[in-house]
Structure 1
Amino acid sequence: MCHDAAFLIVADGRGILHCNDARLTAAQARRAKHLAGGRLDLMALQTSGASWHPICYEYPPEEMAKVSMAKRISKLRAAQRLVRQTEPELAVPFAGPPCFLDAEVSHLNWVLDQRDGAFCDPEVSTAWLREHLPKQRWDYFLPGDAVDLDTGDITRDPVSAEFSFADAGAYLDRYAADRAEAIAGVLAGYPEPGPDLFDRFKAHFTHLGGLSDYFNRHIAMIVRFEITGPNGGVWDVDFAPGGATVSTASPDVRPHYRITTAGRWLDTVLTGRMAWEDLLISFRLSLYRDPDVYNDYLVGLLKHANAPALQAVEEYETGRDESERITVACDGARYDIPRYCPHAGEDLSVGAVVRDGQIHCLAHNFAFDLATGECLNARAANLTSRRVS
C-alpha cells in the first residue's frame, strides 16, 4: 500500500508502516494495520515536515516564534492521533530540523538552536509524544541503529551514539568544510541567466495562467517576484479569470504575495531543470504575504503546472460528496459539518481539534470558522458548516 511516499511492509509475520513525507488519514493508517494482519510491529512517523513555511517567510522574531510553535504542535498532534488510532508495538518519530551546507543558505541553520521551533529534532519529538501518549512505546533511531522485531530490543550504533543534537551546529560546520569542493562543483553548474530572462519568465507565467481558469479564480491576486542578480528585476503576475498578466512591477500596486530568489535559480525552473516545488523546498528563496493567508491554489498551480492534474483537483473540489456529515460541539453550540475536510479529505471525526469557535484539520493545519465555514488561514473551499439547535 502506498500513499505519497508511505509504504507498508509485511514479511515473516511482521508489519512495518513507514510514513515518509506522507500525510496519512486515520482511515488509511487503520487500513494499513488491517492489511498487516491487525498488528503493526513498527510505525515510523514524520514529525518535522518538509516545508518552506515558516522558515523562508519574512516574519518578525515574535511572529516567527508564534507561527513556528503552532506548526510544531499541529504536526506532533497529527502524529499522536495516528498512533492512537493504530497502536503499533513501537512508534518511531523521525524529524528535522533541515540542515544546510552551502553558504548561500547556511544562515537558515538557526533552526538548530531553536528547541521550541517548528522543526524539532527526533529527541524533542519523542519526548513530547511520550509525555502526551505515555502508554505507547516510543523511540528514535540514529544511523546504524537496529531493532529486533521479534524481541523489541534496540542495538545502538557505537559511532552514532557519540552524536549529540546539542552539537549539531558544530557538526554541520565540519561537514560543510569537508564537502566544500563538491558543493562548489555543483553550484558551478548553475550559471547566471542571460538578458532574455524576463521574456522567458513572462512566457512561463502566461502559459501557467492558461492551464486552469478554476485555479486563476481562486488565486485572484498579484504575485510579485523580486529576482536578484544579473538580468533580474521586479515583476508582477496578476492572476485573474481569463489568464495571468505579467508586467514590470509598479510602485502603485500592492502585491498579496512576494517571492524573492536569485535569477539563476529562477532560470532552472524556466529551463525545466527544476520544478517550482523543488525550488521551494530548496529554501533558496524568501516569501512574504499580506494578508498572511496561505493560498493553496497558487502553490498547487506552481507544483502541478499540468492541465490534467489541475482539472482533477477541480473535479474533486466541485464534485465531492458531502452527504456523510457529523455534529461537533464547541462553546455551548453544535454544528453540522461534512465528515471529510474539503481540502484533502481528512476524516474530521478523528483528525481534528475543535476550540474557540474553530475546527482545525490536523492533516494540513487548515482552520475553519464553525459559524461561517470559512477557512481562516488559507484560500480553501468552504466547510459548509451549519449551526443546529
Structure 2
Amino acid sequence: MRITFLGHAGFVVETAGALVVMDPWLSPQGAFDSAWMQLPRNHHLAPRVRELLETPGRERFLYVSHEHKDHFDPEFLATVVRRDFTVVVPKFKRSELQDFFAKYGCKRVIACEDSREVPIKGGYLKLFVSEQGTNRDSSVMVRAEGQCFLNLNDCKLHDRLVRLIAEEGPVDVFSAQFSGAIWHPTCYEYPRETYSAIARKKRDSKFEAVARALESVQPRGYLASAGPAAFLDPALFPLNFEDVNIFPRAPDLFAFLEKRLPDAPTRYLEPMPGDVLDAGTLEFVSQVPERVTTENFRDYLHTYAKDLAHVFRERRRNLMREEVEEILGRLRVELQLKLDRLDLHERVGMPLYVELTEAPKRLLRVDFKLRRVDEVPAVRDTTRYTMKVGASDIVRVLDRKLNWEDFLLSFRLRLSRNPDVYEPVLHGFLGVEVEDLREFCDGIRATESQKERTVVEAGGKRFSIQRFCPHQGADLSEGWVEEGRYVVCPRHRWQFDLHRGGACKTNHSSLCAEPLADKPERVSDSVPPQLPR
C-alpha cells in the first residue's frame, strides 16, 4: 500500500488492484470564500489527481468525508472529465453530498451508514460516520495487502476509538486533525491576554486529543494532516504569525507528543504535498524538493500571498447606500425566517445584535424570547451577543453562494458576548441553515433524552454521572478525569466539575453528578471513565 499526501486532509491510497482518492482540496481559489488557502500550496497536484481518477485499469474510488469546502471541492471535481469511478460518501440526514454526486455523472454513488464496509480488490474500505447537531463528519479505513490506513481527518470519534480498534484490528498508518477549525476565539473581540489564554487552552486540548487517540490506536506511523490553512486575505494575514492561536503547525504538535508520550513507538511524519509513503516500511518512496520549514515559513507565506493577491483584489467591491439598505432588509428577513423555525428559542436568554459595518446606526436586534427581529439605533442590553459583518460579505450568504457555516469559517466577522458563555442554541441559530433548524432542535432534545448513568472515580471518591455529554452526546465512559475533580469529554474536551454537581466549565450544562457511598454499589453496567495514563 502506498499513500500519497495531497495536502491538508487529502490522500491517494494505492494498492495493486484499487485506488482511493480522499478529500482532494486543490482549487486555487481555496475555501470559505477564499479565506482559507492550502498550506503548503498544492494546486500543482490537480492534473496528477485528475489523471489518477480518469485512468482505467484499477478500481477507482473518490471519498469525500463531509461538506466543509476544505474537504469537498466542487470546483476541482468539475474539472474531472472521465467519471467512470465510484464515489463513496457518508449518509447524513442533510443530503447535500448525495444530491451533488447524484448529478455528477459518476459510475455509482455509495452513501454509507456508520461502519459500512465497501469491498475493494484485495480488501475493503470502511466509513465511520458521526452526526451530532451542527457537526457532520466521517472517517475512513482502508485495509488491503495486509496493511491498514485509518484517516480520521476532522471526525471526532475519540469516544469510539478503543472499541473501534478492538473490532477492526491493528492500524499501520493513522492520521487525524491537530489544528483548530472554528471561529472561537479567532473572531471574538477579546483583550490580547484573554485571547492568547483561550487559544493556548484550545491548542493544548487538541494536542491532548491527538495524544490520547495515538494511545488508543497505537499505529506504527502518524501522518500530520488536516493542519492549519494559510490565511492570505490581507485582512486575515496576521493570523499566520500570531504567537499563540488555534492554528499550530506540525512541529509544535510533535514537540508536545515527544514530551507527552516519551516511550511511544509511533513514528511522527510531516509530509509535503506530493510525498509518497510506503505503508509497510514507513519510508517515503519519493519526496518533493520544496519543503516548508520553521526557518522559511514567513518568507514562504509572503511569497504565497503575493502570488495570489489578485484573488482578493477581485473580490473587493464598494457598495452604494441603496445596496446596503437592500442587504439589510434581506438579512432581517433571513434572521426572522431562522427565528421562526427555532423551536428552542426560549432557551436563549440574551438578544443578538447584528451590525453591518456600512450601517453602524441601523442594527438588527434578534429577540429570542419574543421571536422577533427589530431595527434599533444602538446596543441597549448589557447581556447580549453581537456580530459585526460587512454587507459585501454577508450578501454572499443571502445569494446562496455560501452557507452560514462557510461564512462563519471565513472569519470575516467580529463577535462578542456578555457574559462570555457558550450558548449552543444561539450558536446553532447562527451556523445552521434555515431548512435544518428544526432538525437541529430535535437533535438537542434527543441528546438530552439520554438518561443512562455511569460511575466515575475521582480524588478517591465515587460519583454517579450522566453517561452521555449534554453537548453532543459523546460517551463519557471513554472520557477521563483531570485534577481529581473534572470529568473531561473525549470529543470536545469539555470539563465537568464533580465538586459542583457536574457543572460544566464552558456553559451552564451539567452531568447531575451525585456522590456515592464508599461501599460499592451497582449503578449501571457502564465502564467508568479512564484515568490519565
| Alignment partner, residue 50 of structure 2 | none
Counterpart code for 1:129: L
Contact 1:9 1:16 in 2 (8 A): yes
Q: How far 1:95 sits from its partner (Å)?
A: 5.1
The amino acid of 1:184's aligned partner reads R
SS at match of 1:237: strand
Aligned partners of 2:207 and 2:272: how far apart in 1? 20
Deviation at 1:187, TM superposition (A): 4.4
Q: Distance in 2 between matches of 1:292 and 1:323?
A: 30
1:187-226 to structure 2, matched below 5 A, reads 187=316, 193-214=323-344, 216-226=345-355
Matched, 1:16 2:145: no
Is 272-281 or 130-139 further displaced after alignment? 130-139
Secondary structure in 2 aligned to 1:77?
helix
Q: 1:43 offset after TM fit, Å?
A: 0.8
CA contact (8 A) 2:351 2:384 kept: yes
Deviations 1:302-323 (A, max 9, x none): 3223244224313412321x32
- Asked if 1:126 corresponds to 2:254, the answer is yes
Specify which of 224, 235, 239 is matched with residue 364 of structure 2: 235
Are positions 1:168 and 2:301 aligned together? Answer: no
Pairing 1:2–2:131 present = no
Distance 1:369 1:195, change over 3 A: same
Query: Aligned to 1:291, which of 404, 407, 419?
Result: 419
Unaligned runs of 5+ in 2: 1-126, 130-136, 518-533
Aligned to 1:141: 271
Q: CA RMSD in A?
A: 2.5
Partner Cα distance (1:350, 1:318) in 2: 19
Taking every aligned residue pair, what percent have the same amino acid on both sides?
Answer: 28
Give the corresponding residue for 1:349.
477
Letter matched to residue 151 of structure 2: H
1:327-342 alignment runs, 5 A limit: 327-330=456-459, 332-342=460-470
Question: How do 1:14-93 and structure 2 match up within 5 A?
Answer: 14-27=147-160, 29-34=161-166, 36=168, 38-93=169-224
Q: CA deviation at 1:222?
A: 1.0
Rounded to whole Å, the distance in 2 between the matches of 1:150 and 1:126 is 22
Q: Once the two structures are superposed, what CA deviation does each residue of 1:75-97 show, in whole Å capped at 9, x if it has no partner? A: 11111111111211212233543
1:383 counterpart residue number:
511
Q: What amino acid is aligned across from residue 33 of structure 1 in structure 2?
A: I
Q: Tell whether the 8 Å contact from 1:231 to 1:263 is kept in structure 2 after alignment.
A: no
Q: Give the Cα–Cα distance (whole angstroms) in 1 for the partners of residues 414 and 465 of structure 2.
A: 37
TM-score (structure 1 length as normaliser): 0.88
| 1:366 paired to 2:494 | yes
Worse-superposed segment, 193-202 or 263-272:
193-202
TM-score (norm 2): 0.65
CA-to-partner distance for each residue in 1:295-347, whole Å, 9 max, x for gaps? 12212223223244224313412321x324122313x5432112321222223
The CA distance in 2 between the partners of 1:153 and 1:96, in whole Å, is 21
Structure with greater helix share of residues: 1
CA distance in 2, matches of 1:285, 1:256: 17
**2:238 matched to 1:110?**
no
Task: Give the C-alpha shift of residue 290 in structure 1.
Answer: 1.4
- SS of the counterpart of 2:478? coil
- Could you tell me how far 1:170 is from its partner in structure 2? 2.0
One-letter amino acid of the structure 2 residue matched with residue 10 of structure 1: R
Partner of 1:281: 409
Using the alignment, how far apart are the partners of 1:255 and 1:323 within structure 2? 35
Q: Give the SS at the match of 1:196.
A: helix
* Contact 1:8-1:16 at 8 Å conserved across structures: yes
How far is the alpha carbon of 1:358 from its aligned partner? 2.8
Distance 1:15 1:187, change over 3 A: farther
C-alpha distance in structure 2 between counterparts of 1:250 and 1:179, whole Å: 38
Query: SS in structure 2 opposite 1:213?
Result: coil
Look up the SS of the partner of 1:203 in the other structure. Answer: helix
Judge which range, 71-80 or 138-147, deviates more: 138-147
Q: CA deviation at 1:42?
A: 0.7
C-alpha change, 1:288 and 1:251, in structure 2 (3 Å) is closer
8 Å Cα contact 1:143-1:160 kept in structure 2: no
How much does 1:281 deviate?
A: 0.7
**SS at 1:253 equivalent:** coil
Equivalent position amino acid for 2:165 in 1 = K
User: 1:215-269 CA deviation, whole Å, 9 max, x = no partner?
Assistant: x1232211122211269843221212x5243332544322421211111112122
5+ residue gaps, structure 1: none
Aligned equivalent of 2:289:
159
CA distance in 2, matches of 1:87, 1:316: 33
Amino acid at match of 2:341: L
